[in-house]
Amino acid sequence: MYRFADRLAPWLAGLCVLCLVAGLYLGLVVAPADYEQGDSYRIIYIHVPAAWMSMFVYVVMATSSAVFLIWRLKIADMVALASAPIGAAFTAVALLTGSFWGKPMWGTWWIWDARLTSELLLLFLYLGYLALRGALETPQSASKAAAILAIVGVVNIPIIHFSVEWWNTLHQPATITKFDKPSMHISMLRPLLLMVLAFQLLYFHNLMVRVRALILQRENRASWVAELAEKNHV
């Protein structure tokens, strides 16, 4: 796994930069202004990918936690632990950019909207997971307790996704994941999809880097780690 992460990380970083540059250029320069929101809509090229990744990363974290509890795979626990701070960062970006978007659209920085509230709860779940990992004395107990919290908290993901359909909310409904066709023009949709891909690649790159660091930390007494350290020192 260490070798796999070490080889994959640079490729993920390169592809991420390419998609990021292309997406930002097409979204901020090429795409036309919206007929209702003007240029203020362009924040979606950060907000929407960040919001999507906040949920995606949590599903990865919860799935990895379930795998760890069932099959006791240490690498699954490492993936969950490595994903938590990345997901928390994506969630914070989604909430922050949502506030910037909400001010000109709704006239307020924050409102206790169903989607906003459930997204804020998601941030607390990430932070709670990280806090629980550091609160317990033994690593084994911390891993199990945090894994249970991650699995229980996954119920919040469908609430976030379907909140605009289940309750009367100010947040606009889905514009991309429709069964018929997206309600965005292709000139606006193309850069948005590129940015979603860029954020996805950013997550996997950071995941590979953090998993690699966790492997070294947990296997620091292994002979292969000593050989690797000696080789790099030379």
Q: Please, how many CA atoms are within 13 Å of residue 129, restricted to the half-sphere of its CB?
A: 30
Count of helices and strands (H, E) across the chain:
8, 0
Tokens standing for residue 222: 């292994």
Q: Supply the CATH number for residue 133's domain.
A: 1.20.120
pLDDT of residue 38: 86
Question: Alpha-carbon distance 76 to 79, whole Å?
Answer: 5
- Specify burial of residue 173 (Cβ count, 10 A radius: 0-12, 13-18, 19+): exposed
The pLDDT value recorded for residue 219 is 87
Burial class (CB in 10 A: 0-12, 13-18, 19+), 62: buried
Helix then strand then coil, % of the chain, to nearest 5 = 80, 0, 20
**pTM of the predicted model, to two decimals?**
0.92
Structural domains in the chain (count)? 1
- Per-residue pLDDT, 52: 96
* pLDDT value, residue 171: 57
Q: What is the pLDDT of residue 106?
A: 78
Residues in the chain: 234
143: how many CB neighbours lie within 10 A of its CB? 23
- Residue ranges making up the domain that contains 123: 2-233
Residue-level pLDDT, tens digit, the chain, 234 residues: 999 999 999 999 999 999 999 999 999 999 999 888 888 889 999 999 999 999 999 999 999 999 999 999 999 999 999 999 999 999 999 999 999 888 887 788 888 888 889 999 999 999 999 999 999 889 999 999 999 999 999 999 999 888 767 655 655 665 555 445 556 889 999 999 999 999 999 999 999 999 999 999 988 877 787 787 778 764
Question: In this predicted structure, what is the pLDDT of residue 179?
Answer: 42
- pLDDT for 87 equals 98
**What Å distances lie between residue 10 and 4, 14, 105, 158, 234, CA to CA?**
11, 6, 39, 33, 23
